[in-house]
């Protein structure tokens, strides 16, 4: 399915009482395992262990069957990288550029008001002094491969897809059909973040999670959502260093 097709086709999942439990239980168990790893694995390896747990769970729950359409169904095709057909490298590169471009376009709209809200929320005592961009570049690959991609594969790829198939999306939002599935997914996502860092502020990730879910639905896959997720983490880290917070 192409992104344009996904935007025009409303998901057809029907509400059901029996079928939502399995995906939610799988998500809660996976989140609990990831939380345990975040505490139990040495700090320098914890993020990698958590990322591998999410990727392993995604494979087990969504991709291990012989369904040739599984990667596309769950939005995990990644420009054909995980499809059963022979890899088309030019098409993969075009898809990567397109999805990154979409993520950057969303960032251009979202990041300025986020910056204002960040300053109001944290009330830094130091003026903004631009941090070295080299630090952002050093983090970029790790943020995408270790944090954003595994989390988006599991939460937006597996969980949101399964819940959308149970609870039919009913709200048309800027070209994407959304429903209770994106809200439930974002709630589990936020609870997982609070579990790994027990502070109420961590519940705030519920709101960017809604945006990640919109991007996943709008684009028909997780590529742009993962890229935007990584950009959000990098931007927040850059602001913290520039204001002298968390050093």
Q: Give the SS3 label for residue 134.
A: helix
Contact status, residue 10 vs residue 175, Cβ threshold 8 Å: no
Element (H, E) at 104: helix 89-122
pTM of the model: 0.90
Q: What is the mean pLDDT of residues 79-84?
A: 88
Whether 114 is covered by a domain: the verdict is yes
Residue span of the structural domain in which 222 resides:
3-242
Contact status, residue 28 vs residue 21, Cβ threshold 8 Å: no
Contact status, residue 185 vs residue 222, Cβ threshold 8 Å: no
pLDDT tens digits for 143-173? 999 999 999 999 999 999 999 999 999 999 9
Whether 247 is covered by a domain: the verdict is no
List beta partners, residue 177.
Answer: 172
The residue among 204, 202, 182, 184 whose CA lies nearest residue 193 is 202
Cβ neighbour number for residue 51 with a 10 Å cutoff: 22
pLDDT tens digits for 128-147? 999 888 877 778 989 999 99
The residue among 103, 89, 57 whose CA lies nearest residue 76 is 57
Token pair recorded at residue 81: 């990288």
Query: How many domains does one find in the chain?
Result: 1
Whether 68 is covered by a domain: the verdict is yes
Is pLDDT above 80 for 2? no
Q: What is the mean pLDDT of residues 104-111?
A: 98
């Amino acid at each position: 399915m192409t992104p344009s097709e996904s935007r025009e086709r409303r998901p057809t999942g029907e509400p059901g009482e029996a079928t939502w439990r399995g995906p939610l239980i799988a998500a809660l168990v996976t989140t609990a395992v990831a939380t345990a790893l975040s505490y139990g694995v040495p700090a320098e390896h914890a993020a990698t262990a958590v990322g591998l747990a999410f990727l392993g769970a995604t494979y087990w729950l969504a991709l291990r069957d012989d369904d040739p359409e599984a990667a596309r169904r769950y939005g995990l095709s990644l420009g054909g990288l995980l499809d059963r057909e022979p890899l088309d490298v030019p098409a993969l590169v075009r898809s990567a550029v397109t999805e990154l471009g979409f993520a950057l376009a969303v960032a251009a709209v979202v990041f300025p008001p986020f910056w204002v809200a960040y300053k109001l929320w944290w009330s830094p005592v130091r003026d903004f002094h631009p941090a070295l961009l080299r630090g952002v570049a050093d983090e970029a690959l790790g943020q995408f491969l270790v944090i954003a991609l595994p989390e988006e594969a599991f939460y937006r790829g597996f969980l949101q897809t399964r819940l959308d198939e149970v609870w039919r999306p009913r709200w048309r939002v800027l070209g994407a059909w959304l429903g209770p599935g994106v809200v439930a997914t974002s709630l589990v996502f936020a609870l997982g973040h609070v579990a790994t860092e027990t502070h109420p502020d961590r519940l705030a990730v519920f709101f960017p999670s809604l945006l990640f879910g919109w991007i996943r639905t709008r684009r028909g896959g997780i590529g742009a959502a993962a890229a935007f997720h990584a950009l959000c983490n990098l931007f927040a880290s850059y602001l913290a260093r520039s204001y002298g917070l968390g050093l």
